Amino acid sequence: MTERPSRRLLLVHAHPDDESINNGATMARYAAEGAHVTLVTCTLGERGEVIPPELAHLTGAGLGEHRLRELTAAMRAVGVEDFRLLGGPGHYQDSGMMGLPDNDDPGCLWQADVDEAAAHLVEVIREVRPQVLVTYDPDGGYGHPDHIQAHRIAMRAADLAAEAGLGIAKVYWNRVPRTIAEDAFARLQEVLPGLTFPKSAVIDDVPGVVDDERITTEIDGTAYAAAKAAAMAAHATQIEVAEPYFALSNQLAQPLFSTEYYELVRGQQGAQGRETDLFAGIEVAS
């Protein structure tokens, strides 16, 4: 039997591309350091808006299949081999943006029974035995129904796993400190005339921005900035990258952060001040 790596990180995301935007540098760093990194994506993003005109014909299941190929390429870029779809590919479908009729589709993630969906994730936890879980805050970062539901599923799975004796030592939510966002957007305004994007996004467009004092952990992924940018660029239906900036289908430029930030919401903080390691304070024996 293959020996289990001593550090094991589980990330739960809503759609292909979310993982690279939020955690691309973190994933690349820990994978390069020999940690076992597991990504669980809850849907294939079948209702995402497609950027390249030559791919505009992709919709529904066809788009989902294409986005799975993009996810595969993105994970190759950051060195992650263990990536899965919750319940299997297509088990839960994209719910669309909040308030649309798509939210009522009985097959979409928004309509899923949280306990049932969490049970699928518990099976992954049982296999992988992660010490660290990363997911969204209760608002899903910006209010998308699939992000909110991914948060609910991840947190419920953590509870169920603990009840089964499979407790996860630390749970983090994705964050961006407000001052970091403000500084990055100020620099963006200076260079915007030289970019291909016509306008800038605003800080409110960035998921998970909070006051600085809520940040418990920062992961310096500067050495993996190129890997993160490559992973994001692999999601070509959803993201256009002009490093160190990018835009989604709205064509609004925003910063690409190579240092990634987190809020520890369960578990013991492993350092005074901000942690610089998600595994800080954890006994890493398998």
Contact 254, 188 (CB under 8 A): yes
Secondary element (H or E) of residue 154: helix 145-163
Consult the annotation and say whether 15 binds a ligand: yes
Annotated ligand binding at 151? The verdict is no
Q: Cβ distance 135 to 157 under 8 Å?
A: no
Task: Give me the DSSP letters along 155-176.
Answer: HHHHHHHHHTT---SEEEEEEE
In angstroms, rounded to a whole number, what is the distance separating the alpha carbons of residues 149 and 116?
Answer: 12
H or E element: which one contains 128?
A: helix 114-128
Q: CA-CA-CA-CA torsion for 123, 124, 128, 134, nearest 10 degrees? A: -130
Contact 238, 73 (CB under 8 A): no
Q: Is 235 annotated as a binding residue?
A: no
CA-closest candidate to residue 234, choices 102, 67, 79? 67
Q: Which residues are annotated as a binding site for Zn(2+)?
A: 15, 18, 147
Q: Which residues are annotated as a binding site?
A: 15, 18, 147
